[in-house]
């Protein structure tokens, strides 16, 4: 059931080309900083880190906590996020800060890496999956509040089946795509579908007063057709 809205959104909105970031590490940092804030605030923090030449794992790892917190102040919850970044870097350093070494050691399997990511204080399922999908380019779908909100309106039965559970909804999307799409294309499709849902949520399927008459999904969405 997820393929149809995916294809409709892709046709209407075009490719998203996510995630913005020049390096895998920049994407990892962005995934941590974007917790509970807007992307605009994350961009300011990323810009500040770049100006300090601190968007390098070793350099950031050596930064004293107050300096790192100050550099990412614009992203909100900066003390907590600085601690999470240092916790993340403690873990990442065990792979020599190298995405390729990490992938090699884990045979490019998402689950063992996800398990380790979730054991890092401050990293939850959405952040872990964002790192897996967008920084490490593994076939993992990212669920967020936009996804739950959209599904509750688009297909209430599917939303009930997912029971508000992150993992259930993620597995529903992944199983559907895995059943219909080529295995080597899944990374790109999971990447794109999540990005499209975020764009949909920002532009049309807003928290209050969704803009159904203009929405690309209006001809197939339960809420719009009711």
Residue indicated by tokens 């996804």:
147
136 binds ligand SF4 (CB under 6 A): no
Q: In angstroms, what is the minimal distance from the CB of 215 to ligand SF4?
A: 3
| Closest among 66, 59, 64 to 29, alpha carbons compared | 59
Q: In angstroms, what is the minimal distance from the CB of 14 to ligand SF4?
A: 17
Query: At a CB cut-off of 8 Å and minimum separation 6, what does 161 contact?
Result: 168, 172
Number of residues forming the site for ligand SF4 (CB under 6 A):
14
- Identified binder of ligand SF4 from the candidate list 46, 131, 196, 217, rule CB under 6 A: 217
CA distance 106 to 116: 11
Q: Are 68 and 56 in contact (CB under 8 A)?
A: no
From residue 77, alpha-carbon distances to 34, 61, 68, 140, 149 in Å are 10, 19, 12, 27, 25
172 binds ligand SF4 (CB under 6 A): no
Q: Which is nearer to ligand SF4, 5 or 99 (CB)?
A: 5
Scanning 64-72, 169-177, 183-191, 209-217 for contacts with ligand SF4 by CB under 6 A, the matching segment is 209-217
Residue 213 carries which DSSP code? G
- Identified binder of ligand SF4 from the candidate list 81, 86, 153, 170, rule CB under 6 A: 153
Scanning 6-14, 28-36, 67-75, 203-211 for contacts with ligand SF4 by CB under 6 A, the matching segment is 203-211
Q: Are 184 and 137 in contact (CB under 8 A)?
A: no
224 binds ligand SF4 (CB under 6 A): yes
197 binds ligand SF4 (CB under 6 A): no
């Amino acid at each position: 059931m997820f393929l149809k809205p995916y294809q409709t959104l892709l046709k209407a909105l075009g490719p998203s080309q996510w995630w913005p970031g020049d390096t895998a590490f920049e994407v990892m940092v962005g995934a941590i900083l974007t917790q509970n804030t807007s992307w605009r605030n994350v961009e300011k923090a990323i810009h500040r880190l770049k100006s300090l030449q601190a968007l390098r794992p070793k350099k950031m790892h050596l930064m004293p906590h107050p300096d790192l917190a100050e550099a990412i102040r614009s992203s909100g919850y900066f003390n907590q996020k600085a601690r999470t970044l240092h916790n993340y870097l403690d873990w990442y350093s065990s792979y020599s800060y190298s995405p390729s070494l990490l992938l090699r050691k884990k045979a490019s399997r998402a689950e063992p890496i996800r398990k380790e990511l979730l054991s890092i204080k401050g990293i939850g399922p959405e952040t872990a999956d964002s790192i897996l999908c967008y920084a490490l380019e593994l076939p993992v779908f990212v669920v967020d509040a936009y996804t739950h909100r959209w599904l509750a309106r688009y297909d209430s039965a599917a939303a009930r089946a997912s029971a508000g559970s992150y993992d259930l909804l993620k597995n529903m999307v992944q199983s559907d795509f895995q059943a219909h799409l080529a295995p080597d294309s899944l990374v790109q499709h999971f990447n794109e579908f999540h990005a499209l849902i975020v764009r949909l949520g920002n532009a049309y399927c807003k928290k209050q007063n969704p803009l159904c008459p203009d929405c690309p999904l209006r001809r197939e969405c339960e809420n719009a057709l009711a």
